[in-house]
Amino acid sequence: MIPASFDYVRPGSLDEAVSALAEHGDEAKLLAGGHSLLPLMKLRLATPSVLVDIGRLGELSYVNDAGDHLAIGALTRHHDLHHDPVAMHHAPLLSFVAGRIGDPQVRHRGTIGGSIAHADPASDLPAAVLALGGTLVARGPGGDREIPADRFFQGFLESALTPEEVLTEIRVPKATAGHAYQKFVRRAQDWAIVGSVVARVDGRVGVALVNVGPTPVRADAVETALAGGASAAEAAELAAEGLEPPADNNATPEFRRHLARVLTARALAEAGL
């Protein structure tokens, strides 16, 4: 399968990438690791006329200790995030989740920025960043903008980014008090049929769910119950509240609701709650 024709540009810097997007408008697509976009292009479900390849912008590949939070460059590959000592130390949840994505070949190419910008509700890192209460930083023609993770995921494969913006950095609070990711799959290498992420941050518990609707979602009812003193088992019973999960070959909506409750109970227990 061969993608439809396109023009290829490879900007040498972030600023050049922003200019290239401004010049080509929504005809253009950024290419990071290509492990979501190229499969779609091969199936001709995506047919951008210009690809702006930012895959080599080393300036956007880093994991930095920024005092109270961790700053991760958008082009940090899953493989690097998984093995990064600073990430393992200050955001062990993210580094663990990065290691659960796809397979080694996918992790050698895919990036955290691509994963977040793609806004696939079945992806792992978006839910992890939601549970942590992270912030996304985007650079557009007008400069930098910070977007709270809670407002970033707007619909199926739809994010708060405009076509002229590049996601540059992912910021998450340091969180070492306990975490878990329960990812339910039938086969190795697959996306989650449902997943539940728990992060303990500054005395607060963040819970987010994978693949139970058009976007990754916070399990608000679970978080509120825990904050109000409910036990983990009681809180987990509320995990499916308000969800309208999709039906597909892997699961009915009812099975997904069941998985949301069971996986959340397991994740809370694993996180020491």
Partner 1 sequence: MRVKLEVNGVTHEREVEPRTLLVYFLREELGLTGTNVGCDTTSCGACTVLMDGESVKSCTVLAAQADGRSITTIEGLAEGEELHPMQRAFREHHGLQCGYCTPGMVMAAVSLVTESPDLDETHVREGLEGNLCRCTGYHNIVAAVLDAARSSREGAW
Q: Which residues contact 169 (CB under 8 A, 6 or more apart)?
A: 60, 71, 72, 73, 74, 136, 137
**Footprint of ligand FAD on this chain (CB under 6 A)?**
29-37, 39, 74, 101-102, 106, 109-111, 113-115, 117-118, 123-125, 161, 166-167, 189, 191
Give the β-pairing of 135-140 and 179-184. Answer: unpaired
Cβ atoms within 10 Å, residue 254: 11
Least distance in angstroms from the C-beta of 124 to ligand FAD? 4
Please say which residue, 154 or 189, places its beta carbon nearer to partner 1. 189
Least distance in angstroms from the C-beta of 165 to ligand FAD? 6
* C-alpha Rg value of the chain to the nearest Å: 18
Please say which residue, 31 or 273, places its beta carbon nearer to ligand FAD. 31
Binding partner of residue 5 among partner 1, ligand FAD, none, CB under 5 to 8 Å per kind?
Answer: partner 1
Out of 14, 38, 137, 160, name the contact with partner 1 by CB under 8 A: 38
The two three-digit tokens of residue 234, written as one number: 């009681």
The two three-digit tokens of residue 46, written as one number: 């995506």
Distance of CA 74 to the CA centre of its chain: 11
Please say which residue, 25 or 39, places its beta carbon nearer to partner 1. 39
Least distance in angstroms from the C-beta of 31 to partner 1? 8
Please say which residue, 36 or 264, places its beta carbon nearer to ligand FAD. 36
Binding partner of residue 6 among partner 1, ligand FAD, none, CB under 5 to 8 Å per kind?
Answer: partner 1
Binding partner of residue 113 among partner 1, ligand FAD, none, CB under 5 to 8 Å per kind?
Answer: ligand FAD
The two three-digit tokens of residue 183, written as one number: 């990812």
Scanning the chain, the segments in alpha helix (DSSP H) are 14-24, 37-42, 78-83, 85-90, 92-99, 104-109, 112-118, 124-132, 149-152, 220-227, 232-236, 253-270
Least distance in angstroms from the C-beta of 57 to partner 1? 13
Least distance in angstroms from the C-beta of 231 to ligand FAD? 31
Binding partner of residue 114 among ligand FAD, partner 1, none, CB under 5 to 8 Å per kind?
Answer: ligand FAD
Please say which residue, 68 or 187, places its beta carbon nearer to partner 1. 187
Name residue 200's beta-bridge partners: 205
Out of 69, 79, 118, 179, name the contact with partner 1 by CB under 8 A: 79
Out of 106, 137, 230, 243, name the contact with partner 1 by CB under 8 A: 106
Per DSSP, the residues of 126-174 read: HHHHHHHT-EEEEEETTEEEEEEHHHHEEETTEES--TT-EEEEEEEE-
What CA–CA distance (Å, rounded) separates 37 from 46?
8
Binding of residue 266 to partner 1 (CB under 8 A): no
Binding site for partner 1 (CB under 8 A): 1-8, 10, 31, 34-35, 38-39, 41-42, 51, 53, 55, 79, 102-106, 108-109, 188-189
